[in-house]
Amino acid sequence: MLLSRQEMTFDFGTARLSAERDRALLGWIVNQFLYGEVTGIQ
């Protein structure tokens, strides 16, 4: 499936990640990524 560059972008507006506020969420995201890399589950 081919997508145009415009179809692959999303404007999050003023939303930004904050290391202090979003620490638990960012940790979960990284853990899920690493689990998939180790087990080969993509």
pLDDT for 26 equals 92
Q: Which domain holds residue 29?
A: 5-39
Global pTM reads 0.54
The tens digit of pLDDT for each residue in 5-41 reads 888 898 888 999 898 999 999 999 999 888 887 777 7
Specify the number of domains making up the chain.
Answer: 1
User: b/e string for 13-34 if b means 16 or more Cβ within 10 A?
Assistant: eeeeeeeeeeeeeeeeeeeeee
pLDDT for 21 equals 94
- Binned at pLDDT 50, 70 and 90, residue 42 comes out as low
